[in-house]
C-alpha cells in the first residue's frame, strides 16, 4: 500500500504489527496488501463482525424504494438475493486514481517523477 499504518488504522484498534497472531506479519510502516488483509481480519474478529459479512458476494443493484433501499446481491454460486435496508454506505478505494498536477515543463525534466500512489518502498530514494 502507499499509505502508512497511522492513516489506515481505526482509533479504537490501531494498525500495529500483531506477531502474536502470526510471526510472518509485515512490521513495516507501509505494509503490503497481505498485511492490510490480516489487519482487517483481526479487526473483524476483535469486534465480532465476521458473521455479519457476506464474503464472495457482489452487490449488483442499489435502488431507492421510498424511504428505504433495495439491494440485490449475487453470491459466488450465482444465486441472487433482494433485501430492503434503511440506509446504504458506499465504500470505495478513493486512492486508486491518482490526481497528477499539471506542471509546465515536467515532461522534459530529467529527474525521477513518481506520484505517491505508486510509492511502495523507500529503497530507490
Which is more confident, 71 or 55? Answer: 71
Retrieve residue 64's grid coordinates: 431507492
pLDDT band for position 123 (cuts 50, 70, 90): confident
pLDDT score recorded for residue 26: 78
Report domain extents, the chain. 1-53, 54-92
Q: What is the DSSP string of 2-55?
A: -S-HHHHSBTTB-----TTT-TT---SSS--HHHHHHHHHHHHHHTT-GGG--T
Question: For residues 19 and 38, what is the distance between their CA atoms, to the nearest angstrom?
Answer: 11
Sheet of strand 68-75: strand arrangement: 57-65, 68-75, 80-85
pLDDT score recorded for residue 93: 62
pLDDT over threshold 80, residue 125: no
Amino acid at each position: 500500500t502507499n499509505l502508512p499504518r497511522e492513516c489506515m488504522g481505526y482509533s479504537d484498534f490501531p494498525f500495529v504489527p500483531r506477531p502474536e497472531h502470526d510471526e510472518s506479519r509485515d512490521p513495516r510502516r507501509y505494509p503490503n496488501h497481505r498485511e492490510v488483509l490480516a489487519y482487517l481480519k483481526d479487526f473483524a474478529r476483535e469486534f465480532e463482525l465476521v458473521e455479519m459479512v457476506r464474503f464472495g458476494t457482489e452487490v449488483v443493484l442499489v435502488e431507492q424504494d421510498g424511504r428505504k433501499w433495495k439491494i440485490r446481491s449475487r453470491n459466488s454460486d450465482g444465486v441472487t438475493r433482494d433485501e430492503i435496508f434503511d440506509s446504504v454506505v458506499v465504500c470505495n478505494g478513493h486512492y486508486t486514481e491518482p490526481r497528477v498536477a499539471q506542471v509546465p515543463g515536467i515532461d522534459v525534466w530529467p529527474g525521477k517523477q513518481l506520484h505517491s500512489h505508486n510509492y511502495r518502498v523507500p529503497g530507490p530514494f
